[in-house]
Amino acid sequence: MEPVKTLAPYQNVSLANFKGKDLLRIDEFKPEELLYLLDLANRLKQNQKSGQVYQPLKGKTLGMIFSKSSTRTRVSFEVGIYQLGGLGLFLSDKDLQLGRGEPISDTAKVLSRYVDAIMIRTHAHEDVEELARHATIPIINGLTDRFHPCQALADLLTIKEHKGKLQGIKLAYVGDGNNVANSLILAAAMLGLHVRIATPQGYELSSDIAELAASYAEKSGGSLLVTNNPQLAASDADVIYTDVWTSMGYEAENEVRLQAFAGYQINEALVKLAAPDYIFMHCLPAHRGEEVAAEVIDSIHSVVFDQAENRLHAQKAVMNAVM
């Protein structure tokens, strides 16, 4: 089945817009292109649920480089490429010559002759940018310390499924101004959501991301509020989102972070300020009792497992498009 034939047109966007492109950060794509990918992801999801086979990537291979451990990223990409008819190769940086000092540029040139695209999950965003500069195939950012674009696509897909729209939705992000926040806030601002981000002092969204998001929101009809007040952010919110307080690579700061974030837990007192039909989101893994109370993440308002599943469908849309 060809799922793209019935997609709603977004200013003449088609698969041709994406072929051969990289996805290093979410705002490399235009708003209409993001909407197209979300529709494609939804269509691929419906195909899978109905048992229909769609394998446009038969004979294609995805190299998957991991410098960080992963559950959702690895499984969703590996299953996704398989469902699209291709093959995924798990490549730990300890197994590659990267782990013994081979330049990223050489690795990019070699892998470009073996595989059809590379997904990389690593630490420094600059490493992904260098990989893309030297590769002749699409590079997909599976996570860096700066951005997590695939997560943002899955998040938007989940919000649209549960709220029926994106434009005008009030999204509250409470917690660390990290890589997940960067991509989510940029994507939401591009698509007309009203974004409020509440972080402790010293853990705010970086100024360049905040400025970009504000400019995107002005163009899209959305808005951006940056605050240190979680109650202000959560007030009347349609969506409340958080992430762990101590991300991978920051474990040495854990005790300091626990103190700094003490007033930023998503708990029953905070969600009472939200809209009655709010949804709770978390990119997982979650630390119950830290950034979120168990009674919130395990409540009927929580959509965290729909959100996790949508990583598969959003990434299938990306692979279908760029490969």
Is 243 labelled as part of a ligand binding site?
Answer: yes
Query: Tokens representing 123?
Result: 């630490």
Q: Which of 27, 43, 265, 283 is catalytic?
A: 283
Is 196 labelled as part of a ligand binding site?
Answer: no
Q: Which of 25, 27, 39, 121 is catalytic?
A: 121
Q: Residue 283: which residues within 8 A CB-CB, separation 6 or more? A: 148, 151, 155, 180, 243, 307
Catalytic residue at 22? Answer: no
Catalytic residue at 313? Answer: no
* Amino acid (1-letter code) at residue 9: P
Is 148 labelled as part of a ligand binding site?
Answer: yes
Q: Which of 25, 43, 148, 282 is catalytic?
A: 148
Catalytic residue at 243? Answer: yes
What are the angstrom distances between the C-alpha of 151 and each of 68, 76, 271, 283? Answer: 15, 11, 23, 7
Is 149 labelled as part of a ligand binding site?
Answer: yes
Is 248 labelled as part of a ligand binding site?
Answer: yes
Is 121 labelled as part of a ligand binding site?
Answer: yes
Is 73 labelled as part of a ligand binding site?
Answer: yes
Q: Give the largest Cα separation in the chain, rounded.
A: 55
Is 284 labelled as part of a ligand binding site?
Answer: yes
Catalytic residue at 95? Answer: no
Q: Which of 151, 265, 307, 315 is catalytic?
A: 151
Is 179 labelled as part of a ligand binding site?
Answer: yes
Q: Which of 146, 257, 282, 311 is catalytic?
A: 311
Q: For the chain, what percentages of helix, strand and coil (3-state, to nearest 5) are there?
A: 45, 15, 40
Query: Tokens representing 281?
Result: 């989101």
Is 122 labelled as part of a ligand binding site?
Answer: no
Is 72 labelled as part of a ligand binding site?
Answer: yes
> 155, 315 in Cβ contact below 8 A?
no
Round to whole Å and give the CA distance between 198 and 302. Answer: 20
Is 283 labelled as part of a ligand binding site?
Answer: yes
Q: In what order do the strands lie in the sheet with 117-121?
A: 87-92, 61-66, 117-121, 139-143
Query: Tokens representing 271?
Result: 């969600």
Could you tell me which residues are annotated as the binding site for carbamoyl phosphate? 70-73, 97, 121, 148-151, 283-284, 311
Q: Report the binding-site residues.
A: 70-73, 97, 121, 148-151, 179, 243, 247-248, 283-284, 311
Could you list the active site residues?
121, 148, 151, 243, 283, 311
Binding residues for L-ornithine: 179, 243, 247-248
